[in-house]
């Protein structure tokens, strides 16, 4: 016992000595040409696995930690995204695409279980709990939206090998989910400073969901040291957004865009019609000048737990502009410049607000954006209510090297692809080249139980475009399976592309945009129409047979016609009798 | 049938005869055979409708309702009020099962320094005195003389041995008994020279009462009264007074509730004057006190989750030595209550926890040099919208203990008026404001030490006991936990019974609700375990009783909250009309009209035949 305590103590001491803090946060601002700004918020926290398992929570939030423990989840990746990343003008994705998800909600996790069915039960538990925590419809990730990818995802946890046998990877998407403020609020609550201090104070639903593209990510994983003696659990929360600078700078109380007065207009003089009368507004060389408060609506409220045990401040904000651009910080921030000359960082004291101005004075230069390793776009082809097709264009921009990647698609069960029509060809040739698809993993759909899972190992030669196509049939749904707005169409989850890591390079993920699949939609008053029509036919048949059986048939001249006069007389007689009776009764009463 | 044919043909003849001669042409007379065929056709159509259509319709639209022992369930809910009226025979079975919770407590008397005869006499007299004092028959104390080997041989050395044995701890002893309950309390009589009057001492860590008496107080066999006996009886009565009051309160409130629901439900003819005799009426102030106790305490659950949270409005302190502090100050208590309920404990640290806007910010009291919170703001102190105090995952309720460390600028912070720094939120948890001890201790600012959390954890322990419903007296913890066992068994018994009653009333009130087989089996299990609980209570096996009552309660809740019962089959009327009318209208009208016509014809022919 004593020995154990000694060990514990030494461990604790070791933890204290190690420079790795339990929590850090960093905001990376990257101006993108011409008038966009990429803001990457990153929050990282850690706890020892032992305290986590004993439910002593500090910077790992209790609400999420308990859910993960309850569902025996060892690693979790949750993504909320809206918008589309514009490869052409914004370049490569932040974090190599590892911290973004497809449009809507995407979730994948490694769950510990004894069997496939056991892992699915825990997966459902996890989804239901997360759904409550993040106010998202995650509980709708059922068996039809769940897949078990083989090649696309690798665990980032370094767990010992013995336990990894019982790990099951499950992946689910909700492309239809609209991400909004109600998802951001619980996201912020998970942070130790809850958006009250530090860079998280800039996160505001009005700005975040007004962005051209945004992605919120939560990653939880466990990390062990080399010898496996010391394990810890790490949680990383990331928010990336691309803001339109002009749009963000509009004052909040007067958000309607107004025409720029002509004297402030910058004209593109290279146009042939450029003159005093005609002006083609140019924003290409306008550059950017803004302050944090202009873009985000408020300055940064100090920093959150940025002081390490020696009282040193960590960097909180970094801006990636060439060093010859003028950047003016306000507040007692400590500035450090990047050796490569591509940016500078600021360490902010705990309780002072921080403001930074990217000046319009001086050269308006940007850092070069890096080229993405692959361009991917996906669209529908096909015709009619029944026949459909999918076409994906995969372009390798590199002039020298070919590229190899995993292409992963999950299709809903009502979209029935024909694998024999799967065809990959170079855009320059009209015949298919079988060497492009190297491996195929295909799991066909089962109606109402399982979606299609398609994983392809694809190789694209240098400086060429591959066209990947396949055909599918659209199934007809049952009356109750249509959503309330059935005519809008059905969302098909984005395809995930994982570029296999080349020597010395990190993994890169790319996601295509989601697709909207129109299905044949019935008229929803149909059941009543059917009931009435069938009933009418049945009643007609019945009436005919019944009358044939029951009625007596006589000659036309033998039928007694309606004697109207007699009827009238009879009715009058009845009425008189009734009146008479009433009158008599009244009289009798009077007499009495 | 032959008669029918006869009347049919007569009718036809009569009609022909009475037809006016003015008609130009008459249809030929209908043969009796065709009239008969027509009757048969209509009859067969109706036969199909009645014997095939109707049963199929009823069968396809019916809802499965498993049979429940409704009368039994209602009887349990009504506290088994036996009604000796005319249908007593019908209730005969129930009378046999009738349950009247009783709490016979075994109390051992050890009198190592008395002769056995003397001791027995003393015990008898004390028992008499106790019975006289006790006015609540359901809860009674039974004294028993414990034969110690010392009774003949009063030696101090041996005495020490017994003391050591007992000092080993009641708790362990208590936990080890399997079902068989040991004595609720052991009274040890010890003579003390030089003492004027008898004196009693309750040991706070074991269920033992030491009574020291002057040697001249030792009763003789011949005397009919003894001051010592009266003293012991009074002391015992005093120890168990609060428990008695609580049990009486629980029983009474269950009774009144049962009656209220009965009155509300139906004008049943149960004579209410026949209340069980254990219904001692409580005096109002005691009842009010009990009321507040009961509303404060949590509903019983086999597992409770405890969340200990550190809240602070700023960034410091950001850590605390909670693990070691819990292990030292809190876990021992939880271990000793584990016989009643299990606990899981989790902790969290929350920085930047602001008050909700409805709470007034603290005011500075210049006289006392403290910051004060208004008492009416205490209920809104917990900022439910922002503080992450969601219940823990898993079965069982969550108890929240909040340690609030005010900002340095607003400390020390206390409650205005009472100057208290901790309070309870009924059925939710407790709050303790921990004011930093020393304002100049800046080095340990970021971390709260184990010692500084200790007072807060002790407060939480007290709060936990009161949430569990343990009585304040007697001051001995084992006795309190024993009492808790009995109270929980009683309240579980009553709550499971009343759930049974609610379920029975629900199934009667909603005829369209489906009752699956699982509900029926849950009800059966509940009733069985209720019976066992009752027997165990009577036998004084309180731990068994608690175990059974727990199962009964779980099963009762399972039955009541059955998922498939919640979703009722509901079709609005217009829906039904839209579905049924298009078919039933065109088909039903000809069927009905033909049937009416046929009946009228039959009636007319009978009328004619009778006078003729």
The distance of Cα B254 from the centroid of its chain, to the nearest Å, equals 9
Cβ atoms within 10 Å of B1's Cβ, excluding its own: 8
Calculate helix-pair angle for B477-509, B517-539, nearest 10 degrees: 150
B411 touches chain A (CB under 8 A): no
Give the β-pairing of A375-381 and A452-460: unpaired
Chain B residues whose CB is inside 8 A of the A540 CB are 586
A554 touches chain B (CB under 8 A): yes
Tens place of pLDDT per residue across chain A (592 aa): 444 444 444 444 444 444 467 899 999 999 887 788 999 999 999 999 889 989 999 999 999 999 999 999 989 999 999 999 998 889 899 999 999 999 999 999 999 999 999 999 999 999 999 999 999 999 999 999 999 999 999 888 876 554 567 889 999 999 999 999 999 999 999 999 888 889 999 998 888 998 999 999 999 998 888 777 788 999 999 999 999 888 888 877 777 877 777 777 777 777 888 777 788 877 655 567 889 998 998 899 988 888 877 778 888 899 998 888 888 898 888 888 887 777 899 999 888 889 999 887 777 778 888 889 999 999 999 888 889 999 999 999 999 989 999 999 999 999 999 999 999 999 998 888 888 999 999 999 999 999 999 999 999 999 999 999 999 999 988 878 888 888 899 999 999 999 988 877 888 999 999 999 999 888 887 778 888 888 889 888 988 998 888 888 888 777 776 778 888 888 999 999 999 988 887 777 666 5
Chain B residues whose CB is inside 8 A of the A350 CB are 315
- Among candidates A188, A186, A240, which has minimal Cα distance to A211? A240
Q: Which CATH architecture has domain B301-438+445-468?
A: 3-Layer(aba) Sandwich (3.40)
Peptide bond into A315 cis (omega under 30): no
Give the tokens for residue A415: 């979209």
Cα gap A231→A223, rounded to integer Å: 6
Q: Which of residues 494-553 of A touch B (CB under 8 A)?
A: 528, 531-532, 535-536, 538-540, 542-543, 546-547, 549-550, 552
Cα gap A502→A470, rounded to integer Å: 29
CATH of the structural domain A375-517, one choice from 3.30.70.100, 2.60.40.740, 1.20.120.400, 3.40.190.10: 2.60.40.740
Give the tokens for residue A12: 């604790």
Domain ranges of chain A: 19-252+264-358, 375-517
Calculate helix-pair angle for A526-550, B32-48, nearest 10 degrees: 160
Give the tokens for residue B308: 């200990």
- Do residues A446 and A368 touch, judged by C-beta distance below 8 A? no
Q: Which helix (H) or strand (E) holds B454?
A: helix B450-468
- Do residues A309 and B445 touch, judged by C-beta distance below 8 A? no
| Residue B587 to residue A555, Cβ atoms within 8 A | no
Sheet holding A375-381, edge to edge: A375-381, A387-396, A464-474, A415-426
Q: Pick B579's closest partner by Cβ from A58, A59, A531.
A: A531
Chain B residues whose CB is inside 8 A of the A305 CB are 315, 318, 351
Q: Pick A538's closest partner by Cβ from B34, B38, B583.
A: B583
B373, B376, B377, B379: CA torsion to nearest 10:
130
Q: HEC states along A119-149?
A: HHHHHHHHHHHHHHHHCCCHHHCCHHHEECC
B271 touches chain A (CB under 8 A): no
Tokens 């369930």 label which residue?
B73
The alpha carbon dihedral of A520, A525, A528, A534 has a sign of: negative
| Residue A305 to residue B315, Cβ atoms within 8 A | yes
Read off the pLDDT of residues B149-169 as tens digits, 9 standing for 90 and up. 444 444 443 443 344 444 333
How many distinct helices (H) and strands (E) make up chain A? 12, 26
ipTM exceeding the 0.95 mark: no
Longest dimension (CA), chain A: 124
A370 touches chain B (CB under 8 A): no
Eight-class DSSP state of B39: H
Domain ranges of chain B: 2-18+28-46+580-609, 70-98+246-281+476-566, 103-240, 301-438+445-468
- Do residues A488 and A519 touch, judged by C-beta distance below 8 A? no
Q: Pick B590's closest partner by Cβ from A194, A305, A543.
A: A543
Which whole-number Å values give the CA distances from A307 to A188, A311, B407, in the listed order? 21, 5, 19
- What b-and-e string marks burial along A305-336, b requiring 16 or more CB atoms within 10 Å of the CB? bbbeeeeebbbbbbbbbeeebebebeeebeee
């Amino acid at each position: 016992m004593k020995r154990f305590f000694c060990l514990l103590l030494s461990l604790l001491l070791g933890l204290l000595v190690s420079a790795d803090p339990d929590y850090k946060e960093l905001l990376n601002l990257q101006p993108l040409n011409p008038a966009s700004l990429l803001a990457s918020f990153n929050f990282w926290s850690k706890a020892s696995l032992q305290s986590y398992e004993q439910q002593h929570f500090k910077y790992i939030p209790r609400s999420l930690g308990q859910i993960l423990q309850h569902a025996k989840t060892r690693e979790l990746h949750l993504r909320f995204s809206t918008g589309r990343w514009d490869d052409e003008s914004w370049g490569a994705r932040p974090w190599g695409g590892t911290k973004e998800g497809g449009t809507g909600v995407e979730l994948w996790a490694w769950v510990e279980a004894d069997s496939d069915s056991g892992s699915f039960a825990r997966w459902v538990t996890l989804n239901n709990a997360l759904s409550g925590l993040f106010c998202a419809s995650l509980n709708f990730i059922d068996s039809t939206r769940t897949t078990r990818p083989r090649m696309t995802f690798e665990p980032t946890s370094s767990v010992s090998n013995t336990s990894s046998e019982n790990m099951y990877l499950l992946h689910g998407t909700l492309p239809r989910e609209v991400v909004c403020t109600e998802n951001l609020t619980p996201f912020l609550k998970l942070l130790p400073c809850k958006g009250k201090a530090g860079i998280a104070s800039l996160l505001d639903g009005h700005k975040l969901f007004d962005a051209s593209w945004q992605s919120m990510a939560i990653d939880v994983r466990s990390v062990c040291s080399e010898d496996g003696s010391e394990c810890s659990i790490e949680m990383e929360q990331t928010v990336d957004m691309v803001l339109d600078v002009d749009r963000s700078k509009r004052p909040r109380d007067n958000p309607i865009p107004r025409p720029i007065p002509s004297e402030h207009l910058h004209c593109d003089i290279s146009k042939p019609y450029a003159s005093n009368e005609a002006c083609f507004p140019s924003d290409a060389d306008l550059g950017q000048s803004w302050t944090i408060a202009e873009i985000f609506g408020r300055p940064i409220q100090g920093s959150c737990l940025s002081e390490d045990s020696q009282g040193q401040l960590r960097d909180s904000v970094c801006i990636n502009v060439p060093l010859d651009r003028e950047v003016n910080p306000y507040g007692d921030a400590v500035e450090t410049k990047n050796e490569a000359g591509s940016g500078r960082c600021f360490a902010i004291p705990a309780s002072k607000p921080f403001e930074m101005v990217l000046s319009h004075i001086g050269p308006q230069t940007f850092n070069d954006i890096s080229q993405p390793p692959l361009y991917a776009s996906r669209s529908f082809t096909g015709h009619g209510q029944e026949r459909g097709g999918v076409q994906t264009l995969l372009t390798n921009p590199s002039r020298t090297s070919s590229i190899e990647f995993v292409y992963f698609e999950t299709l809903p069960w009502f979209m029935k692809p024909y694998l024999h029509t799967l065809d990959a060809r170079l855009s320059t040739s009209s015949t298919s080249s079988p060497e492009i698809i190297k491996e195929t993993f295909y799991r066909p759909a089962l109606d109402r139980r399982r979606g299609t899972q398609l994983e392809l190992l694809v190789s694209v030669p240098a400086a060429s475009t591959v066209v990947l196509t396949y055909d599918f049939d659209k199934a007809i749904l049952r009356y109750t399976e249509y959503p309330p707005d059935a005519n809008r169409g059905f969302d098909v989850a984005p395809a995930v592309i994982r570029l296999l890591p080349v020597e010395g390079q990190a993994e890169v993920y790319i996601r295509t945009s989601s697709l909207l699949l129109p299905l044949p939609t019935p008229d929803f008053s149909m059941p009543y129409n059917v009931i009435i029509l069938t009933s009418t036919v049945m009643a007609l048949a019945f009436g005919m047979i019944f009358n044939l059986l029951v009625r007596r048939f006589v000659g036309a001249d033998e039928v007694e016609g309606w004697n109207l006069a007699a009827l009238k007389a009879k009715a009058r007689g009845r009425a008189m009798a009734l009146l008479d009776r009433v009158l008599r009764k009244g009289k009798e009463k009077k007499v009495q | 049938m032959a008669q029918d044919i006869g009347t049919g043909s007569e009718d036809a003849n009569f009609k022909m005869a009475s037809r006016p001669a003015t008609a130009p042409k008459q249809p030929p007379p209908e043969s009796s055979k065709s009239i008969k065929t027509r009757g048969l056709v209509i009859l067969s159509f109706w036969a199909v409708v009645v014997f095939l259509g109707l049963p199929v319709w009823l069968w396809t639209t019916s809802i499965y309702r498993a049979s429940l022992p409704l009368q039994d369930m209602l009887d349990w809910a009504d506290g088994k009020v036996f009604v000796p009226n005319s249908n007593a025979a019908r209730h005969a079975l129930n009378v046999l099962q009738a349950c009247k919770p009783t709490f016979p407590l075994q109390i051992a008397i050890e009198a190592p320094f008395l002769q056995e005869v003397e001791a027995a006499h003393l015990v008898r007299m004390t028992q008499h005195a106790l019975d006289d004092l006790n006015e609540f028959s359901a809860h009674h104390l039974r004294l028993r003389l414990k034969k110690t080997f010392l009774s003949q041989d009063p030696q101090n050395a041996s005495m020490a041995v017994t003391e050591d044995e007992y000092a080993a701890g009641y708790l362990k002893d208590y936990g080890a008994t399997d079902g068989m309950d040991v004595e609720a309390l052991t009274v040890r009589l010890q003579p003390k020279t030089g003492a004027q009057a008898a004196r009693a001492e309750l040991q706070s860590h074991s269920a033992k009462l030491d009574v020291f008496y002057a040697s001249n107080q030792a009763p003789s066999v011949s005397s009919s009264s003894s001051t010592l006996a009266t003293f012991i009886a009074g002391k015992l009565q005093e120890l168990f007074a609060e428990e008695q009051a609580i049990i009486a309160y629980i029983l009474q409130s269950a009774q009144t509730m049962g009656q209220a629901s009965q009155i509300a439900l139906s004008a049943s003819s149960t004579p209410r004057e026949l209340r069980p005799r254990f219904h001692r009426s409580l005096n109002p102030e005691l009842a009010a006190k009990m009321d507040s106790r009961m509303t404060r305490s949590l509903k019983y659950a086999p597992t409770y989750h405890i969340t200990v949270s550190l809240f602070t409005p700023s960034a410091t302190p950001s850590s605390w030595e909670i693990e070691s502090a819990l292990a030292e100050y809190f876990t021992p208590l939880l271990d000793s209550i584990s016989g009643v309920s299990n606990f899981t404990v989790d902790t969290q640290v929350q920085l930047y926890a602001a008050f909700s806007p409805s709470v007034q910010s603290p005011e500075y009291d210049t006289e006392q040099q403290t910051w004060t919170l208004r008492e009416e703001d205490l209920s809104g102190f917990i900022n439910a919208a922002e503080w992450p105090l969601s219940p823990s995952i898993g079965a069982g309720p969550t108890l929240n203990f909040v340690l609030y460390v005010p900002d340095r600028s607003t400390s020390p912070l206390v409650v205005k008026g009472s100057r208290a720094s901790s309070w309870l939120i009924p059925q939710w948890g407790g709050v303790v404001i921990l004011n930093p001890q020393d304002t100049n201790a800046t080095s340990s600012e970021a971390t709260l030490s184990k010692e500084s959390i200790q007072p807060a954890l002790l407060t939480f322990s007290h709060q936990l006991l009161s949430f569990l419903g343990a009585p304040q007296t007697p001051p001995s913890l084992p006795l309190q936990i024993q009492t808790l066992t009995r109270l929980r068994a009683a309240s579980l018994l009553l709550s499971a019974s009343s759930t049974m009653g609610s379920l029975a009333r629900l199934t009667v009130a909603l005829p369209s609700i489906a009752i699956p087989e699982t509900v029926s089996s849950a009800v059966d299990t509940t009733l069985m375990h209720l019976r066992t609980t009752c027997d165990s209570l009577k036998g004084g096996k309180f731990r068994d009783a608690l175990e059974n009552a727990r199962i009964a309660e779980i099963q009762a809740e399972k039955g009541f909250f059955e998922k498939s019962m919640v979703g009722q089959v509901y079709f609005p009327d217009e829906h039904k009309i839209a579905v049924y009318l298009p078919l039933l209208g065109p088909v039903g009208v000809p069927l009905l009209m033909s049937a009416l016509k046929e009946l009228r014809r039959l009636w007319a022919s009978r009328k004619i035949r009778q006078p003729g």
